[in-house]
């Protein structure tokens, strides 16, 4: 059953492999997620139309197609779309093995896992180990100010959280593919966590003076809107600072709520693409003007932000340089986004404990709802004395009949495309004492 891709035992084995890589290679340096944007890939549409019509299609002809027409072409040729994504991803990761895309750094090792979004499209989650041309690894955060500065310098070379100010192709890619819009996926599972913003809250320094509609805001598990920052910083959780008194901590938490409520109220829109005067005014603020609007100085602001830092593990977090207009911009690498032209997420791994927790719960997670069913089948097999072949057939029926999945995933399975792959081969050595 470990060979049946997509089953819980399959991903359990994959988890063991990546944990072995961490033990041998130390913690990875970067988390990277690449999604698919088939409609935006004109080269893919050209290839599909050339296959269907048996003649070359120009770029102008592709540009004249509506998104609906492109989706129909994609739907008619889903096998080609799936194999294109698989080839595209492998080509990108192979290219990153050399310096260039990631600046002076290159991938020395990686572990990747293919997953399928709600709409059925594949995307890849990966853990990357990096080194420069001399074989030197990126800096590791050890809690000191010097290491924080070194790490921030490294982060700024690879990761960006700002919309380019010019009217370049990169600006268009970031605006269209890296701007967060709240959807049902922002919920943390089935839980609905809300933040109540009273009528006299969310006005910054005019809290208690200005009035507006009361808001019941459903919190985003991706933590948007993000905090504006003058520069990239690594901040430690205030809760772990023994020099902060209880009274000071409560003041900092109060200021943090004040900031969040201000950002939410001023940036709120009913649906993606809407514009409001308050949102436009917020996005036009410089960082100093933003501090003026919330009525805090920079030290008070940074102290407040530290109360939002995750206290697990090392109790520190990276905050990218962001202007007010960038509070909904997702992390990206400019070179990768220009090449791949699809939504991505990239982050620096600051906490070696977080990497283990992430892998355990997400990177190699099995398919939802299958574990209990497979356990029930295994118990029945033991009870009724199924043969190995009967047991495997029962597992196969459960896998293919007990969960709905979209065509891309079906083609991934039927074509034998890998759902997990890495730069390392693995060999299991049984160290148990043999029983005679």
Tens digits of residue pLDDT in 87-109? 999 999 999 999 999 999 999 99
Cβ pair 27, 352 in contact under 8 A: yes
Query: Can you tell me the distance from the alpha carbon of 56 to that of 49, in angstroms, rounded to the nearest whole number?
Result: 8
Q: Which of 40-44, 59-63, 209-213 has the lowest mean pLDDT?
A: 59-63
* 147-199 tens-digit pLDDT: 999 999 999 999 999 999 887 899 999 999 999 988 877 876 656 788 999 99
Q: Please, which residues bridge with residue 192 across strands?
A: none
* 293-336 tens-digit pLDDT: 999 999 999 999 999 998 877 889 999 999 999 999 999 999 99
What pLDDT, on the 0 to 100 scale, is given for residue 397? 67
* 403-428 tens-digit pLDDT: 556 788 888 888 888 888 899 988 88
What pLDDT, on the 0 to 100 scale, is given for residue 372? 56
Structure tokens at 391: 């047991």
What pLDDT, on the 0 to 100 scale, is given for residue 15? 79
SS3 content of the chain, % helix, strand, coil (to 5): 45, 15, 40
- Which of 259, 188, 254 lies closest to 220 in space, CA to CA? 188
What pLDDT, on the 0 to 100 scale, is given for residue 1? 46
Whether the per-residue pLDDT at 359 is higher than 70: the answer is no
Query: Can you tell me the distance from the alpha carbon of 38 to that of 425, in angstroms, rounded to the nearest whole number?
Result: 31
Beta strand extents in 82-202 (DSSP E only): 105-116, 122-132, 194-197
Regarding predicted confidence, which is higher, 228 or 355?
228
Spatial CB neighbours of 124, under 8 Å, sequence gap ≥ 6: 33, 34, 89, 112, 113, 114, 115
**Position 271 confidence tier, pLDDT thresholds 50, 70, 90:** confident
**Position 388 confidence tier, pLDDT thresholds 50, 70, 90:** confident
Neighbours of 109 (CB within 10 A): 17
Question: Can you give 289-301 as a three-state secondary structure string?
Answer: HHHHHHCCCHHHH
The structure's pTM equals 0.86
């Amino acid at each position: 059953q470990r060979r049946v891709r997509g089953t819980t035992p399959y991903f359990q084995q994959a988890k063991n492999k990546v944990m072995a890589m961490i033990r041998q290679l130390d913690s990875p340096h970067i988390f990277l997620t690449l999604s698919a944007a088939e409609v935006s890939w004109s080269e893919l549409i050209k290839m599909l139309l050339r296959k269907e019509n048996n003649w070359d299609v120009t770029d102008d002809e592709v540009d004249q197609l509506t998104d609906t027409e492109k989706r129909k072409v994609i739907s008619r040729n889903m096998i080609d779309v799936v194999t294109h994504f698989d080839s595209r991803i492998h080509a990108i990761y192979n290219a990153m093995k050399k310096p260039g895309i990631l600046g002076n750094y290159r991938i020395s090792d990686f572990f990747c896992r293919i997953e399928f979004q709600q709409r059925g499209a594949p995307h890849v989650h990966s853990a990357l180990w990096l080194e420069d041309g001399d074989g030197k690894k990126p800096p590791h955060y050890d809690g000191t100010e010097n290491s924080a500065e070194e790490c921030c310098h490294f982060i700024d070379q690879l990761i960006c959280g700002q919309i380019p100010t010019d009217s370049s192709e990169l600006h268009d890619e970031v605006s269209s593919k890296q701007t967060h819009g709240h959807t049902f996926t922002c919920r943390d599972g089935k839980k609905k966590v809300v933040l109540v913003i009273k009528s006299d809250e969310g006005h910054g320094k005019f809290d208690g003076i200005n009035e507006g509609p009361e808001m019941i805001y459903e919190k985003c598990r991706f933590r948007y809107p993000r905090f504006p920052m003058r520069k990239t910083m690594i901040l430690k959780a205030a809760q772990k600072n023994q020099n902060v008194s209880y009274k000071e901590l409560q003041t900092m938490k109060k200021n943090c709520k004040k900031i969040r409520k201000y950002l939410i109220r001023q940036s709120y829109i009913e649906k993606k693409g809407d514009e409001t005067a308050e949102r436009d005014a917020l996005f036009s603020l410089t960082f100093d003007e933003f501090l003026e609007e919330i009525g805090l100085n920079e030290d008070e602001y940074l102290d407040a932000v530290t109360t939002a830092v995750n206290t697990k593990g090392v109790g520190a977090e990276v905050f990218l340089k962001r202007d007010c207009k960038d509070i909904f911009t997702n992390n990206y690498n400019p070179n990768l986004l220009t090449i791949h032209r699809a939504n991505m997420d990239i982050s620096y791994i600051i906490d070696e404990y977080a990497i283990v927790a992430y892998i355990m719960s997400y990177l190699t997670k099995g398919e939802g709802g299958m574990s209990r069913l497979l356990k029930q089948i295994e118990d029945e097999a033991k009870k009724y004395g199924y043969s190995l072949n009967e047991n495997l057939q029962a597992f196969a029926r459960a896998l293919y009949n007990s969960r709905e999945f979209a065509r891309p995933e079906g083609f991934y399975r039927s074509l034998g495309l890998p759902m997990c792959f890495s730069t390392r081969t693995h060999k299991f050595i049984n160290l148990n004492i043999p029983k005679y």
